[in-house]
Amino acid sequence: MLGLAGILVGLALLIAFAYRGWSVLLLAPLAALVAAAFASEPLLAHWTETFMGSASRFLMQFFPIFLLGALFGKLMEDTGSVAAIAEAMTRTLGPRRAVMAVVVAGAIVTYGGVSLFVAFFVLAPMAEALFRAADIPRRLMPAAIALGTSTFTMSALPGTPAIQNAIPMPFFGTTPFAAPGLGIVAAIIMLGFGLGWLALAEQRARRRGEGFG
């Protein structure tokens, strides 16, 4: 029971300090030591054998995925492919459907294999222009971008190239297209609730007379 409590406390501390700007590279081993202390394990042995051993095996197994994903994202950014997709969504849907345009553009580029970090910074200028033209509050921009880049395309749609889909594969013996029906249903739920919340937030802002600024 204390071991489980230690894991929860360690995760809570990691999340809290990460939001305050601390480096995860520093917080992860500290959180592991907190969990070990709650479980009454030898701290040095836990650090050198359990944590460092698991971390090195994880990096050895998944570093090629991280590297190739980053290279692909950089290639798409430098060739202007991500910006071209974003501009196409802008022309197709226009300012009247600004939220939908941002979400769809983010979904296309991340489902195509572009890192969500690259997509976020490329989509931000497009989202700002659309939200300004539609007079939608600026504070809803991060939510719209995150819905398109960091939810259903990251963890639900079958075959997504995101690392969140690739990492569990060797442990569960699955393929990138495992449970396609369940994944599609989950993606529809995520997208539906996300768009519904954004539409409700936009309506409330308009009733209050809140604009882009």
pLDDT digits (tens, 9 = 90+) for 123-170: 888 888 888 888 889 899 999 999 999 899 988 999 988 878 888 888
Residue 210 clears pLDDT 80, i.e. is over it: yes
Specify if 22 maps to a domain: no
Mean pLDDT of all residues in the chain?
Answer: 83
Beta carbons of 213 and 117 less than 8 angstroms apart: no
Is position 51 within any domain?
A: no
Residue 142 lies in a domain: yes
Measured distance CA(152)–CA(107) in Å, rounded = 8
**Residue 158 within any structural domain of the chain:** yes
Asked if the structure places residue 39 within a domain, the reply is: no
Domain count, the chain: 1
> In this predicted structure, which of 61-75, 85-99, 125-139, 145-159 has the lowest mean pLDDT?
61-75
Look at 49 and 180; give whichever has higher pLDDT: 180
Per-residue confidence at 46, pLDDT binned at 50, 70, 90? confident
3-state secondary structure the chain: CHHHHHHHHHHHHHHHHHHCCCCHHHHHHHHHHHHHHHCCCCHHHHHHHHHHHHHHHHHHHHHHHHHHHHHHHHHHHHCCHHHHHHHHHHHHHCHHHHHHHHHHHHHHHHHCCCCHHHHHHHHHHHHHHHHHHHCCCHHHHHHHHHHHHCCHHHHCCCCCCCHHHHCCHHHHCCCCCCCHHHHHHHHHHHHHHHHHHHHHHHHHHHHCCCCCC
Residue 76 lies in a domain: yes
Is residue 163, in this structure, part of any structural domain at all? yes
Res. 188: pLDDT tops 90 = yes
| Range from 62-71, 75-84, 97-106, 196-205 that averages highest in pLDDT | 196-205
pLDDT at res. 23? 83
Whether residue 194 is contained in a domain is answered as yes
Rounded mean pLDDT of 67-89?
73
Structure tokens at 160: 């997504």
The stretch 3-27 carries a mean pLDDT of 83
| pLDDT score for 1 | 64
Q: What pLDDT is attached to residue 200?
A: 94
Domain span at 177: 69-207
Is the predicted pLDDT of residue 2 greater than 70, yes or no?
no
